[in-house]
Structures are given as C-alpha cells and as structure tokens.
Copies of this chain bind each other. A is one copy, B any other.
Amino acid sequence: MTYQELFTQISAKKTYLCVGLDTDIRKIPSHLLQEADPVFEFNKQIIDATADYCVSYKPNIAFYEAMGAKGWESLQKTLEYIPATHFTIADAKRGDIGNTSGLYARTFFDPTSSGLDFDSVTVAPYMGSDSVIPFLEYENKWVILLALTSNIGSSDFQRLQVEDSSLYEQVLKISQQWAGADRMMYVVGATQAPEFEKIRTIVPDHFLLVPGVGAQGGDLEEVSRFGMNSHCGLLVNASRSIIYAGNGIDFSQKARQEAFKIQQEMATYLDLYCK
C-alpha cells in the first residue's frame, strides 16, 4: 500500500485507528477454546467487528511465536483474512546484521518463503543502517523504525543526550538517509505527547505509528493536535482496550463499540487538525 492509498483510506473512513492483534490464548473468551484454532477464530471475529472503523491491523508477533509452530499458522491465517483495504503491520521489532535482517525481511515480506505478506514491519534501530536497509529492498514494503517508545524504559537510552539532541532524535535524523516518507514510518509512543511538536520539525511528512493509547494511558487528543500533518500522518494503535473490551459471547460486539468510539473521536480530530 502506498502513502497516498493509505491517506485515501483514512480520508474515506475518517479514522486513523490501527487495531493491535495482541492475541493471548490465555486471555481470550473461554467459549472459543473449543475451536480448532481459537486464536484465529478470535482474530477473525475481531476483524469482522472492527474493519469499518480502522485502517490498519497490527499483529504483535510475540503473541503468535509464544505458541510455536501452531501460533505461526494462526498468524498466517489471520494475515490472509485481513481485507486488502487495511494496512498490515508485523509488530516484530527485528534488527540484526545485514544477512540476518535479509532473512527477517524474507519472513515478513516473501510469502513464497514464509507464507506471510505484510505491508510493513517494525524494526529496532540499535544496530544501524545495514540492519534496516535489507527490509527496504522489497518494493512497496515499509519499515517502521522505533524512535521514542511508549514504555518507562524508553528514558534509559532513547532520551540520552547525544551532542545537542537526544538519541531518538538522532535516529530520526540519520535514518532519513535510508528512505523517505513513502517507505519509512516511525514509532512514537502516545505517552510522549509533549515531544510530538519537536518530532514534527524533524519528520514533518512521515507517518508515525503511535501505540500507547488505551491500556498504557496516552491521550488521543494531544497526540492528534501535536502529531497530525496535512496527510494525517498518524496511525494510532489500540490493542488491549479494544480486543479485550469484552470477555463473553459478545466480545466482538464490545470490541466494535470501542473501535467505533475511537473512530468518532478521530473523525473530529481529522476535521480540526488535518490541514
């Protein structure tokens, strides 16, 4: 999916919601456990219920890997079920030396090898250029690079002062040599709202993938006010607050209501701040 196609979806549906599929078999409604593939069944119902109100899905790879080969099969079925209208993100936070990153790229972008064909993958920047570039060798695929994450530990290293700015700002600056806003996005946590203005001076055009709204406490209005650009430029993720909104037979209804609520709020912010 291209930058323009993504913006077209956002404009048409008036939402920049990404639904995080952090599907933990220990947390899904118990009536699903009798299904052949409970994780896929859960995801399928969540996707059916929320697709109208989001533009993206983000399976969190840890949750599938934790189940071994079986989890990998659930992931593949889930990815195939997501409509082509939705931007897909493998939230994997990979990054290794060049030849290994090449294999991770094959994992998420080459269906003839792994069965998976994501639009994008999240990548950790610590190992530098040659750990990121192999992902950019696949046409029309995106890298979403960690910049300033939503967790407490983000201050341990990401905010260390390096010359006249912090490490995460260096990541934003240096990585722009590897790809432009048409192939690269950045992860910036919703809990970091005060930083968004500064971030927009460094990467005015890029999409930012913003986790941390919902369970982690980030503020959607602030993120939108400080983070939005003329092409929206935001994919705001909510995972647990949507997918675990209910825990009974009607869990997908509850998820739909929660996604709808966020979409309504987003429609307002698009009118206000997307200019």
Interface residues of A (CB under 8 A from B): 22, 24, 60, 62-63, 65-73, 76, 91, 93-101, 103-104, 106-107, 110, 113-116, 124-132, 146, 149-158, 160-163, 167, 170-171, 174, 211, 216
Chain B residue nearest to A151 (CB atoms) is B97
Distance in angstroms between the alpha carbons of A73 and B150 in the assembled complex: 34
CB proximity of A27 to chain B, nearest CB, Å: 11
Chain B residue nearest to A116 (CB atoms) is B68
User: Which of A115, A153, A160, A161 has the most chain B CB within a 10 Å cutoff?
Assistant: A153
Whether the pair B163, A113 counts as a contact (CB closer than 8 A) is: no
Whether the pair B66, A76 counts as a contact (CB closer than 8 A) is: no
Q: Out of B70, B76, B132, B152, name the residue touching A130 (CB < 8 Å).
A: B152
**Known contacts A93-B94, A127-B146, A157-B126; A76/B69 CB under 8 A:** yes
Q: Out of B76, B97, B152, B211, name the residue touching A149 (CB < 8 Å).
A: B97
Distance in angstroms between the alpha carbons of A126 and B128 in the assembled complex: 12
Chain B residue nearest to A149 (CB atoms) is B127
Distance in angstroms between the alpha carbons of A160 and B17 in the assembled complex: 35
Distance in angstroms between the alpha carbons of A170 and B167 in the assembled complex: 12
**Known contacts A107-B65, A124-B95; A130/B157 CB under 8 A:** no
CB proximity of A196 to chain B, nearest CB, Å: 19
Distance in angstroms between the alpha carbons of A130 and B157 in the assembled complex: 12
Q: Out of B73, B114, B170, name the residue touching A65 (CB < 8 Å).
A: B114
Residues from chain B with Cβ under 8 Å of A100 in the complex: 22, 60, 62-63
Whether the pair A130, B113 counts as a contact (CB closer than 8 A) is: no
Distance in angstroms between the alpha carbons of A160 and B154 in the assembled complex: 17
Q: Out of B65, B67, B126, B167, name the residue touching A162 (CB < 8 Å).
A: B167
Q: Out of B97, B101, B170, name the residue touching A160 (CB < 8 Å).
A: B170
User: Which of A98, A128, A146, A167 has the most chain B CB within a 10 Å cutoff?
Assistant: A128
Q: Out of B71, B94, B157, name the residue touching A125 (CB < 8 Å).
A: B157
Q: Out of B72, B98, B124, name the residue touching A126 (CB < 8 Å).
A: B124
